[in-house]
Structures are given as structure tokens and as C-alpha cells.
């Protein structure tokens, strides 16, 4: 990607920029700030607004800040400090959000783990990342306790029931009676909900946003061998600001997002968690996106405005047998990523929702968003292009070069390799 510095990419970009949506600035000011402090700035503006909604439980920005700070203090009291690699293996539950910002305030590095990983995959990434601590759900205790103490020295177990309404929580706990019993001690810790007032507004460690890693995001790339993309605080902040700038004004602040894409994928973490919360929006958590009936019930009740997703999810919703029983018309914008969006699926999903559905493109190595189609309702070629990954987000510059040598610039309309330069590109 450093090769991009040798190209006159701005000449071609001048032509590209003429087709940008009128509200999008090609260059924006991105603050050099750590992720925790960025959240605090959002909390100050929207303290009484709902930040997280989960299965009937609502958490305001102010309460979320207190829970984040209390969790950071707990983690710190057990030895978690700046630079530590901490594996986080959680679905889309409130604890993911809380742990994410708590670890950011400590200057620790999150190692993203998929809860569906096999034991071999978990061990490989724990060893490669040199993580000796994991934060996960108690329902994964049977799998994770096998690694203690040889592969991992510290485990924090969270419980979904902590964030469910009383009756639902009781029913949920009854259904989990056969879980592996956990004997808590100084190294196997219960991560309980703590709503006590905690007014701290600064990180617990000095953090260099441009150089200190925030996230190790494992990706197979084209080789199939997982490698960690090292994403800094500044990389992630930059991408959140780039996404916000791309949105039309009515979607920039204080709306509601259906957060169904798993946060352990950087696409879900960025578009359905970090970017919304840094803009004062509410995220509506879906712990299992495969449960289409539950997803439709939540859409019908909570009426989300934005729905970042993937084509398979949109397809599953559209083809659900009873989809006509649910109101999807409050959804107004969908950004699809992770895989190509079939044109017919795009058009059909727009019909049943009334939303604007656009395609984007990115990589774990770009935090992840690099390109998005303009979010407009017309199909004029001066705006969005159906079947295209769109244009580079602000402050992102691209070139297409020869696959053979990685240097020779290809003429417009010719295939090649895409080079990307921008503040969201991995360290």
C-alpha cells in the first residue's frame, strides 16, 4: 500500500470527486483522539438518550459510561493494563459494548474471537496474539475452561441474564441449567453488571492514538491463513468519521441502528456499534442474526432507521415465510458489505422496505470501510451505480494497477489490483 505514494492518484481523483454526493466533503478533519475519549465526547452530548437496546432493556449513554468505567476498574484491578492483548469472544450483547470501551480506556488491545470458532481455531489465535486473558459468556464455559490454566491464565465470564428483564432472565437461566459449572477464583472472574455512578472521563493510561493498537482483527485474506490486521485507535476513529460524513444529514446523528452483524467481525463492530455510538445513535442488539423470526419481531417493535447488513441476511429476511406480517417500512437506509450484493436482491429489498440499499467495500485492513455507493434514492449514473462497490470515502485514495507487477497503472475500465491509501489503513 505504500506504493500508492509514488502514483499521481490525485489527477484521477479530481475526476472522481466531481461525482460525489453534494453533502460529502472529499477531505474532513479527523481528531487525533483515543476511542474511549471519543465516546465520552458523545456521552456528554447525548447523556440521557438511549445508547443500547437489548431484548427489552434500555441503557442510556450516561449509564453506559458508568458501566464502562466500572468494568474498566474491575479489569484493571485484575491486572489488565496498557498493551495487554485480551481476547473477547462475545456475540452482540451489552457486555461486548461495555468491555470494548473499557479495554479501550485501559489502552489494552482487543483480540476478536468468533464464538463459533472450534477449539483449535481459538488456541491458534490465542497463541498467535499472545493473549493470556479471555472475556466470554458463561454459556461457553465448557469450551473455554479446557484452556485453563495451560493455554490461558485469566477468564472473565459474563451472563446474558444480567441484561434481560426479570421474568425473561429467570426463564433464560432455567434453560441454561445444564451449563458447565464454573468455580470462580482470583483468575476465573464473574463479570457482573455494575450500574453504580462512576464519573471518570479520562483513560486510565496515556494512549497514543496514531501508534497504539486498539484491535487485532484476524483475517484469512486470500491465503486462508489467519493473520491479525493491527488497527490503531486513530484508524478506527478515522473510519467512524468517514462513514458519518458519507451519510446524508438526516442519518448523521441520533438515529437507531439494527445491530445484527456480529461485532466480532470488524464490519459489524464499525458500522453497527462504534460509528453509531460516536454519533449519539441508539444500537438495537441482535445476539443471533440467524434467528430471523426474532430479528423481524425486533424490527417490527423497535423500528430501526438504519440497517447495515450482508446480502445473505437481507435475503433470509426477504424470503422468510411470514415476512408480510411485520412492518419493515421504518428502515430507511441499508449499507451492504462483506460480499457482493446481487442487483435483484438489492432492488427487491428496497421494494419491501422502502429503504435505500447501497453496496460498500472494505477489508479488515481498512478498519474496514473503503468505498460506499452514494446513499441516494435515484439510479442516475451521476449518483449511485447499481452493481458497483461505490467510491472511496473521504480522505481515501485509490489506484488500480497491474496484477503482474503491482506498479503499472491500468487504464479506466481495465481490471487490476486495487491499492488503497487513507487514515483507516492498518498500522
DSSP conformation letters of 204-233? SS---TTTSEEEEEEE-TTTTS-EEEEEEH
Cα separations (Å) of 12 from 16, 18, 150, 395, 412?
A: 7, 11, 55, 14, 10
Q: How far is CA 415 from the centre of its chain?
A: 30
**Dihedral angle of Cα 416, 346, 425, 205, to the nearest 10 degrees:** -170
Question: What is the structure's pLDDT at 20?
Answer: 84
**3-class secondary structure, 299:** helix
Helix and strand tally (H, E) in the chain? 13, 17
pLDDT (0 to 100) of residue 22: 84
Position 221 scores a pLDDT of 66
Q: What is the reported pTM?
A: 0.94
Q: What is the pLDDT of residue 1?
A: 43
Cα–Cα distance for residue pair 97/261, rounded to 1 Å: 14
Instruction: Look up residue 410 and give its DSSP letter.
Output: P
Whether the CA torsion 59, 311, 427, 134 is positive or negative: it is positive
CATH number for the region 9-180+212-421 comes to 3.40.50.12780
**Alpha helices (runs of H) in 303-359, residue ranges in sequence order:** 311-318, 343-353
Residue recorded with cell 473503503: 370
Q: How far apart are CA 386 and CA 377, in angstroms?
A: 11
> Could you tell me the three cell numbers for 189?
472472574
pLDDT at 334: 95
**Model pLDDT, residue 113:** 96
Residue 9: predicted pLDDT: 59
Contacts 24+ apart (CB under 8 A), 312-318: 312/339, 313/260, 313/261, 313/289, 314/345, 314/349, 314/357, 315/345, 316/292, 317/292, 317/349, 318/345, 318/348, 318/349, 318/352
pLDDT along the chain (427 residues), means of 10: 53 73 91 98 97 96 98 97 98 98 98 94 95 95 93 95 76 64 92 93 95 95 82 98 95 95 97 98 96 96 97 95 95 93 92 93 96 78 74 92 92 90 96
- Contact indicator for 91, 287 with CB cutoff of 8 Å: yes
What pLDDT is recorded for position 12? Answer: 64
Sign, Cα dihedral of 358, 359, 364, 370? negative
| Closest to 152 measured CA to CA, from 122, 191, 118, 177 | 122
Amino acid at each position: 500500500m505504500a506504493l500508492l505514494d509514488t502514483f499521481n492518484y490525485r489527477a484521477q481523483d479530481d475526476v472522481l470527486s466531481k461525482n460525489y454526493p453534494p453533502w460529502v466533503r472529499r477531505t474532513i478533519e479527523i481528531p487525533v483522539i483515543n476511542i474511549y475519549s471519543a465516546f465520552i465526547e458523545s456521552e456528554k452530548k447525548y447523556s440521557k438518550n438511549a445508547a443500547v437496546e437489548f431484548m427489552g432493556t434500555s441503557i442510556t449513554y450516561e449509564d453506559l459510561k458508568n458501566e464502562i468505567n466500572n468494568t474498566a476498574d474491575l479489569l484493571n484491578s485484575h491486572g489488565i493494563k496498557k498493551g495487554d492483548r485480551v481476547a473477547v469472544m462475545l456475540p452482540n450483547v451489552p457486555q461486548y459494548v461495555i468491555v470494548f470501551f473499557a479495554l479501550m480506556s485501559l489502552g489494552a488491545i482487543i483480540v476478536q474471537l468468533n464464538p463459533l470458532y472450534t477449539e483449535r481455531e481459538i488456541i491458534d489465535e490465542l497463541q498467535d496474539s499472545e493473549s493470556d486473558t479471555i472475556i466470554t459468556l458463561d454459556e461457553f464455559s465448557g469450551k473455554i475452561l479446557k484452556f485453563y490454566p495451560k493455554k490461558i491464565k485469566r477468564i472473565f465470564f459474563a451472563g446474558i441474564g444480567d441484561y434481560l428483564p426479570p421474568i425473561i432472565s429467570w426463564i433464560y437461566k432455567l434453560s441454561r441449567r445444564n451449563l458447565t459449572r464454573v468455580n470462580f477464583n482470583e483468575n476465573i472472574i464473574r463479570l457482573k453488571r455494575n450500574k453504580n455512578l462512576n464519573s471518570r472521563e479520562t483513560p486510565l493510561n496515556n494512549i497514543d492514538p496514531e501508534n497504539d493498537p486498539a484491535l487485532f482483527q484476524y483475517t484469512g485474506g486470500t491465503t486462508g491463513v489467519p493473520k491479525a490486521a493491527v488497527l490503531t485507535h486513530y484508524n478506527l476513529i478515522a473510519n467512524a468519521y468517514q462513514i458519518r460524513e458519507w451519510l446524508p444529514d438526516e442519518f448523521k446523528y441520533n438515529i437507531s441502528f439494527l445491530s445484527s452483524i456480529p461485532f466480532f467481525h470488524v464490519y459489524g463492530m464499525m458500522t453497527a456499534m462504534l460509528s453509531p455510538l460516536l454519533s449519539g445513535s441508539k444500537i438495537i442488539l441482535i445476539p443471533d442474526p440467524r434467528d430471523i423470526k426474532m430479528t423481524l419481531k425486533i424490527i417490527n417493535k423497535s423500528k430501526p432507521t438504519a440497517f447495515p447488513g450482508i446480502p445473505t441476511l437481507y435475503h433470509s429476511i426477504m424470503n422468510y415465510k411470514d415476512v408480510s406480517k411485520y412492518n419493515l417500512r421504518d428502515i430507511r437506509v441499508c449499507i451492504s458489505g462483506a460480499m457482493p450484493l446481487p442487483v435483484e436482491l438489492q432492488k427487491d429489498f428496497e421494494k419491501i422496505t422502502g429503504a435505500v440499499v447501497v453496496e460498500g467495500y472494505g477489508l479488515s485492513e481498512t478498519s474496514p470501510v473503503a468505498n460506499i455507493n452514494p446513499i441516494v434514492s435515484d439510479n442516475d449514473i451521476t449518483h449511485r451505480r447499481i452493481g458497483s462497490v461505490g467510491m472511496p470515502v473521504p480522505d481515501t485514495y485509490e489506484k488500480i494497477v497491474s496484477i503482474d507487477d503491482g506498479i503499472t497503472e491500468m487504464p479506466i475500465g481495465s481490471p487490476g489490483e486495487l491499492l488503497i491509501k487513507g487514515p483507516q489503513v492498518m498500522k
